[in-house]
Chains A and B, each alone.
Chain A
């Protein structure tokens, strides 16, 4: 079983690109299954179902969708094996830019929208810097020069990655992504995250709702960057 984790900010074009990619994978004789992880709501399952493949959704609700995706990876893989799938594609919500939901051994794909401007690759952090493939979408809306500047910025942020310029509407780039997927080796038994999940030890994590800092304990970082530990 191959594992492909597709992450990217909301609306960046993940589903649109995947729809075309899955068609290419099916044509090449592979059997993909998709799990979409989102926070509160999604209709991506209905879109994927049109491709006549096994589809499942998971909603993380009040939890970080990336954390939720990470510790449910085993269950997703088991489910995909039951569906006789050869590739499990996991589309994540990618809201939390501190987390990167990529285990080693998967193909890590970051989808990023070119129209958000050439500073975006510097902002998205491990989601982009630890990806194997960066798919740049919506290039149809900007000039060639802007696409090339964007690409340069992606290269600076993640020098080793493969950049695919894709168009979720026309399907440009999808066959290239399908090719990379088909060359990906199967996942192993023990999966480890590529990037540490961030600290989650503040009192907000455990339900404190009062805003003022005096009510909070644990690791606290001040706005000037000073970090202190308050507590026992």
Chain B
């Protein structure tokens, strides 16, 4: 199987049908790219274009190239050959199966060994509060549990050189851990986010408006410094959140 050394987004049109402000975005392995913009500005659509390896056949008219070329049909459609994992914005499973049955089927569809199943559940349980059991029905999992399972599934079963993440922060799971888990070294990672910490943890960020790419900003040294301050603040917030979740009191907490 060929190595991926470049992902290229050839931009198309925005919601008004006008050309996007950026023509082309090239991304190399090891890069984490953020996607930011107001709600409804087309962030998820951009992620979906990449997942489908669109060839001008979606409303955005974007084309996605791998190593500078349009990928062939089998790479676009066969999950065994597809090298892209996507954590979409969906918060729930609809499949009427147990967690174990589902993960087994998914491992099969991705040509993975079924002993990965246990590993996925273990990892998911490090991200979520109440633990997920192999015998649970998928449909009874909470939003946060589903999200944690989806993330762990991507890290293990769908382990791919290109990873697309749509809003990891809003499910109440440990977002920094989840990002670390998904953004393993040497991967191309795109993260849609409304969260300043996650946005500044990326190397570059794509700014969206009205369905189109407006600009690509490289994170400056100044922003990186802001980011490390924010991480401290965020960790503090998380620890307060944990205490409150466990039924503890936070009267002693200092307001920073």
Contact = CB atoms under 8 A, between A and B. Distances in A.
Interface of A: 115, 117-119, 140-146, 148-153, 163-165, 170-172, 174-176
Contact of A151 (B57, B79, B88, B157): B79
Contact of A144 (B58, B94, B102, B158): B158
B237 interface: no
Contacts of A150: 95
B63 to A, nearest CB: 13
A118 B48 CA distance: 22
Interface of B: 48, 51-52, 54, 57-59, 77, 79, 85-88, 90, 93-97, 102, 105-106, 108-110, 150, 153-154, 157-158
A66 B106 CA distance: 34
Contacts of A174: 57
B57 A117 contact: no
Contact of B86 (A144, A149, A153, A170): A144
B190 to A, nearest CB: 14
A119 B106 CA distance: 14
A151 B109 contact: yes
B105 A152 contact: yes
Given A152-B109, A171-B58, 6 more contacts: A117-B95, A140-B48, A143-B93, A144-B86, A146-B94, A150-B95
Contacts of B59: 170-171
A148 B110 contact: yes
22 contacts: A115-B94, A117-B94, A143-B88, A143-B93, A144-B87, A144-B88, A145-B106, A145-B154, A146-B94, A146-B95, A148-B79, A148-B106, A148-B109, A149-B95, A152-B105, A152-B109, A153-B105, A165-B52, A170-B59, A171-B58, A172-B54, A172-B57
A142 B108 contact: no
B90 A141 contact: yes
A171 B153 CA distance: 28
Contacts of A142: 90, 93-95
B93 A146 contact: yes
Most chain A CB inside 10 Å of its own CB: which residue of B59, B77, B95, B108: B95
